[in-house]
Structure 1
Amino acid sequence: MGAMRFPATPTDGDSPMSSFDKDDIGWTPIMEEAQRATRVLHPEMLELPRPARRRIITVANQKGGVGKTTSTVNLAAGLALHGLNVLVIDLDPQGNASTALGVEHRSGVPSVYEVLLGEISIADAAARSTQSKNLWCVPATIDLAGSEIELVTMVAREARLKEALNSEAVEQIAPDYIFIDCPPSLGLLTVNALVAAQEVLIPIQCEYYALEGLGQLLRNIELVQSHLNPSLWVSTILLTMYDARTKLADQVSAEVRSHFGDLTLRTVIPRSVKISEAPGFGQTVLTYDPGSRGSMSYLDAAREIAERGAERKTA
């Protein structure tokens, strides 16, 4: 096998990676993976476009185990690592997003529960994540489990979170992106998330029964659009838990892309042990194992989301 040929010196203005032709040096998948890993380890090398206005994205799917919370925290971390200010609101009483972002969420800690009841502001409840100086989280405590009963008797109960996000207190954090992680249900907490958001991101796992129950979620989104939030729309479909060894993953991927078209991100998230392990260490996969396939996939998905937002801005 012949030796790979590199140019003696890069031309003016070229980066080391762009100063040679891929075909000339025998470009390989391993080299491509190495380049992607470098972007994770050195995020300053890649600049993501800042949105023209704040994007509020609710991540929803009433099915459990589809990678909803995992996708929320890793997409948020991917954007934050590249200089964008990101706020994650953990609206799931289990508090898994809070755990993954390294934010305290024991009972008694200022949380989204007090925010929904109007007792404190978003800024009072938000804590900086250990993952990035640009990443904040409003944690969920076990107190949130009973909040739906308390919200029932409140005025404008479906808009409590929207009210909190419209307050001046949010400007203390000045996020470019707000991600809202919903519980695996279609109850009042999820409705609050849909009313407060502009966009919905739906993670769909590449497994059997992937689309089961999705129709009900889409009908609920339509109801919220009709009665509570006409500006809401499904902007993104993210395929998760993709296993390239199975035909089923390809079949589900093809079916989802056929149904949702361009709403589906090109990037798919692989089934990965590293992604599953990371929350146990209070981390996202981007900091737990930056060079892993899962980490690079979430970084690619975050970049795609940011670039799509920029395209809509210029359209």
Structure 2
Amino acid sequence: MIASSRGQRSATPGEAPTVAVRPIESSVAVGAEDVIATRTDAGPHREIRAGETIATGDTPVRLVLISDRTRIDLSAGTSARFARERQGVRVHLEHGGLSAEVMPRTADRPFVVETPHANASVVGTAFSVAVTGHSTVSVGHGVVDVASGGASARLSAGDVAACARGEAPRVARRVDRVLEELADPGGWNNCSLDLPLVSGVGGLVGGRSLQIHLSSERSWAGAIFAQRQDFSPYRGLSLTCRGQGTGALLLVEVLDNGPPRQPGEKDQAERFFADLVDDVAGWREVRIPFTAFKRRELQMPGAANDGLTLTGTQGLSILTSRDTTLSLERIGLYK
């Protein structure tokens, strides 16, 4: 979906008029060669012409491009202007939402969606974009090139990019497994006393986030899984997070193997850690390969000592060397 927070505005002299989508003839007097798409969702088909702005009102609208039968769905409350782009199409999204199943394109037949923050050039894919304070592009399958702030990124299936005005795209790549239990404060069941955990709105992959306020005075956030997990098929850990750019050193800890913990008992898992530096203010994805994890000198009494096997992972922890706030939106595993 593509969505925008801009409000509707009246056309000024020289601009294309805003036309509410309904089964009537267009007021734009142009030739049939300027017809870009037809409405197919309900009622008589209506031709959509180059330069025309579509306002959907309270009802979603489905369009099909004349050139190659690419399907475009406009959500309710959407305003989008359609224009020619060489032998292809450019959609200027003012506000609302758009999703599309785009047929494969060549360089001379582009499909481009322009938002206030970014351009998404589609090679041939199913994709969506959400525009609030920034634009977020998500790819279902295929390839999308995203440009923002003078930089660009190529997205493949499962990738997400967040684009703010004047900034390069921030990309979160596809993960093979999301640790869903860690998206909820209740999943973090092994934290230091009185550790603040605040649920909020995510900023990169479109989910909920969990804000953790950590201090250097023996403060940590920890999660013990209800059942031990097999992480051995995966190459590493992915954290989609928002830092403060404080320079604080965070330790990401994996609790590996050991006997299952009984209620009220301390675990005997073997602890391994990797460094994460809070050197970026804002959202980003951090990938930590499991080969980067080292065995901690400090271990619980009775902990195993058989190396990082990942076949019986008991949980995860995050610790810090100085006060900082970290927001987590997605924790996943990649191959």
- Structure 1 length normalisation: TM-score? 0.25
Considering only CA atoms, is the larger Rg found in Structure 1 or Structure 2? 2
Higher strand share: 2
TM-score, normalised by the number of residues in structure 2: 0.24
